[in-house]
Structures are given as C-alpha cells and as structure tokens.
C-alpha cells in the first residue's frame, strides 16, 4: 500500500515535470544534428579567445531573450521598415552585444544541418559555453525551443529589470517569470563578468549611501556627473573576465557597481544568501547552473508553434 502510493506520487511528479518542460530535451537534436554542440563550442572558443567579454555579452543576450515572452530568439530579430524588434528597446539599445557571434554559429549550423536547429537553442547553448569558457560552471541544456515569428519592444522595455530597481521590484520581476528570489540572487551573479556603462551606475556612485566611498571615488574618476555616458567599468572590480563568486564578496564590501547589485546586500532579505555565496563558491556555482536551466525553460515555443528561422535576424 505504502509502496503503491509512493509509486503513484512519483509517477505524477514525473508527469508534472515533463509537462512543465513541454518537449524540451537535452537529446532533441541527437540524430538530426549530432555535431550541434561541438559547432557552438568551437565558435564560442574563438569568440571568447578573441575577446573574453564576449562570454559575458552572450550570457546577457540570453537573459534578455528569455525575459521577453520566453527563450524564443526574439531578441535576435532586426528592425525592418515593417517590423519592430527588441534590439532598440531601452535595455538593449547601444548595450547588447554578440548577435554577430550567434549569426556566425547559425551559418555553421545551417551548413551542417539545414533548417533543423532554432536560433533560440543556439543562444541557450552559446550562453552556457560562454560561462564555462570564463571558468564558470557548466550544465546540460534542454533543447527543442523554436523561434518566435514576433517580437515586442514594449515588453522588452517593461519586463527586463532596470539597474535603478529596488530589491522588491527585482524579486517581483523574476517572480513574474516563475523564478524565486533565490534564483534572482544567484542569476545576478552573472555580473561576475562583463562591463556596464556610466549612464547605468552614475546615480549609484554619486548619490547612494549603500556604497564604499573609496569604491565610489574610484568609479567617479571615469564616470563624470555629466557626459561620458558610454564609459565602461567592470561589473566585478576583482576579476571581470573570470566567472566566480567575487561578485558577492564585492557586495559584502559594498562595491557593487549597479544600484540593483547593491540592493541584494542592503540589510534586507537577500543578505544571508549573499554572504553564503561570498564564502562558498561551490554553492554559488550549483545554484547558478540550476537557475540558468530554470531561466532557459521560460515559455519555450515547441511542437508546431513558431518556426526554425533560416537566418536569426529575420523571420522566414
């Protein structure tokens, strides 16, 4: 009796997990495009060797794809005379990088497996590889996403969190995507790599009180109160090209670059977790990888929905 009940419960749980994942599976292209993962990896190795920041840029591209109506490649679509995409939404314009790397991977993948692999799946794999190549954790990517035939600039403007957001807004914007506060704090660790523009951290370094004053003065040197909007600073002051838990150590010493970063260590609900990640790099790596898989499962198009785009820049 106990065994039978247990068995039924497990079967139900397995079914629920399967339904939540729709038809995504790590072996989706196992026979239709067996070399997919090695093609993505080889182009990413070249791109990251050429410029380490590219690993960071492609990770961010994936985040901005997934948060706007799911991981459906919508961010990769170019604007045309009759189509408004997401590339010029406020969080993306003059800021997102790396679409040309995804386009290059797509060209190689098309040559090997014409019309088979979505741009959305290529981006999910490339983001994983970017993190790994910067010495971060790796994870198995569920595959089978299809590409959107639409995009939404207004959703990109309203659903991607802003660097000025308070903690409560960060938590609620991730909750709106089915991600917990813990996922949000782990995924923010993406800011262990890459760069931000002065316009996104100026108010924080001049007007916030939850900041180390010596750190603020270092950052003010290259981010004046007026002008220099595009001047860059590393999101992680310690090792901007290495993926690790230094980001959380920075937060504990009040050296987060963005207001939104420092909100995770502001005397509020995420302080204890930030301290745990700061002292336990393995815990951060495990939580980050698991949260990336959850983010990569946001509202995929599967079955006959969407399409397999021939060119990531345009709908077929």
Indicate which residues carry an active-site annotation.
Answer: 64
Pick from 115, 166, 178, 268 the residue near ligand NAG by CB under 6 A: 115
Does 260 help bind ligand HEM (rule: CB under 6 A)?
A: yes
Pick from 73, 163, 244, 256 the residue near ligand HEM by CB under 6 A: 163
With contact defined as beta carbons under 8 Å apart, do 244 and 56 qualify? Answer: no
Closest residue to ligand HEM in the complex (CB)? 194
Task: Report, in angstroms and rounded to the nearest whole number, the Rg of the chain calculated over CA atoms.
Answer: 20
Pick from 60, 128, 202, 255 the residue near ligand NAG by CB under 6 A: 202
Bridging pattern class, strands 195-197 and 232-234: antiparallel
Residues 6+ apart with CB under 8 A from 202: 223, 225
197: partner contacted, choices ligand HEM, ligand NAG, none (Cβ within 5-8 A by kind)? ligand HEM
Pick from 59, 205, 274, 278 the residue near ligand HEM by CB under 6 A: 59
Pick from 217, 225, 238, 269 the residue near ligand NAG by CB under 6 A: 225
Q: Which stretch binds ligand NAG (CB under 6 A): 20-28, 65-73, 184-192, 200-208?
A: 200-208
> Strand, helix or coil at 29?
coil
Does residue 118 come out as left (phi exceeding 0), alpha (psi in the -120 to 50 range) or beta?
Answer: beta
Pick from 51, 78, 110, 212 the residue near ligand NAG by CB under 6 A: 110
For 148, how many CA atoms within 13 A lie in the half-sphere containing its CB? 20
Q: What are phi and psi of 141, to 5 degrees?
A: -95, 115
Q: How far apart are CA 33 and CA 268, in angstroms?
A: 47
Q: Report angle CA 146, 150, 152 to the nearest 5 degrees.
A: 120
Site string (70-109) toward ligand HEM, x via CB under 6 A: -------------------------x-x------------
Beta carbon nearer to ligand HEM, 92 or 306: 92
CB atoms within 10 A of CB 81: 4
CB 207 to ligand NAG: min, Å:
4
Pick from 23, 116, 203, 276 the residue near ligand NAG by CB under 6 A: 203
260: partner contacted, choices ligand NAG, ligand HEM, none (Cβ within 5-8 A by kind)? ligand HEM
CB 119 to ligand NAG: min, Å:
15
151: partner contacted, choices ligand NAG, ligand HEM, none (Cβ within 5-8 A by kind)? none
**C-alpha torsion sign, points 78, 84, 88, 90:** negative
Does 114 help bind ligand NAG (rule: CB under 6 A)?
A: yes
Q: What are phi and psi of 233, to 5 degrees?
A: -140, 150
**C-alpha torsion sign, points 202, 207, 208, 214:** positive
Q: How far apart are CA 71 and CA 104, in angstroms?
A: 19
CB 123 to ligand NAG: min, Å:
21
Task: Give 28's DSSP letter.
Answer: T
- Residues at the contact surface with ligand NAG, assessed by CB under 6 A: 110-111, 114-115, 202-203, 206-207, 225
């Amino acid at each position: 009796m106990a065994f039978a009940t247990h068995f039924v419960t497990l079967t139900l749980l397995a079914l629920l997990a399967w339904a939540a994942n729709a038809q995504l599976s790590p072996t989706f292209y196992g026979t239709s495009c067996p070399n997919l993962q090695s093609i993505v990896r080889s182009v990413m190795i070249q791109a990251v060797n050429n410029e380490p920041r590219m690993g960071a840029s492609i990770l961010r591209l994936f985040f901005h794809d997934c948060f706007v109506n799911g991981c459906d490649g919508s961010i990769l679509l170019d604007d045309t005379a009759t189509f408004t995409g997401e590339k010029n939404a406020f969080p993306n314009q003059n800021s997102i990088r790396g679409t040309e790397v995804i386009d290059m991977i797509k060209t190689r993948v098309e040559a090997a497996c014409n019309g088979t692999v979505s741009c959305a799946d290529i981006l999910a794999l490339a983001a994983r590889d970017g993190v790994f190549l910067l010495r971060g954790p790796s994870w198995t990517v569920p595959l089978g996403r299809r590409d959107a035939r639409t995009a939404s600039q207004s959703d990109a403007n309203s659903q991607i969190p802003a660097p000025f957001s308070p903690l409560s807004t960060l938590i609620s914007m991730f909750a709106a995507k089915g991600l917990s506060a813990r996922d949000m704090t782990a995924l923010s660790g993406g800011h262990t790599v890459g760069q931000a523009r002065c316009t996104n951290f100026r108010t924080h370094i001049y007007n916030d009180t939850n900041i180390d004053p010596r750190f603020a003065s270092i950052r003010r040197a290259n981010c004046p109160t007026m002008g220099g909007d595009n001047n860059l600073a590393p999101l992680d002051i310690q090792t901007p090209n290495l993926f690790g838990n230094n980001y959380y150590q920075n937060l504990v010493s009040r050296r987060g670059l963005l207001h939104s970063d420092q909100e995770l260590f502001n005397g509020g609900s995420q302080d204890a977790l930030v301290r745990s990640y700061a002292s336990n790099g393995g815990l951060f790596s495990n939580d980050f990888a698991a949260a990336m898989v959850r983010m990569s499962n946001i509202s995929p198009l599967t079955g006959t929905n969407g399409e397999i785009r021939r060119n990531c820049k345009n709908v077929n």
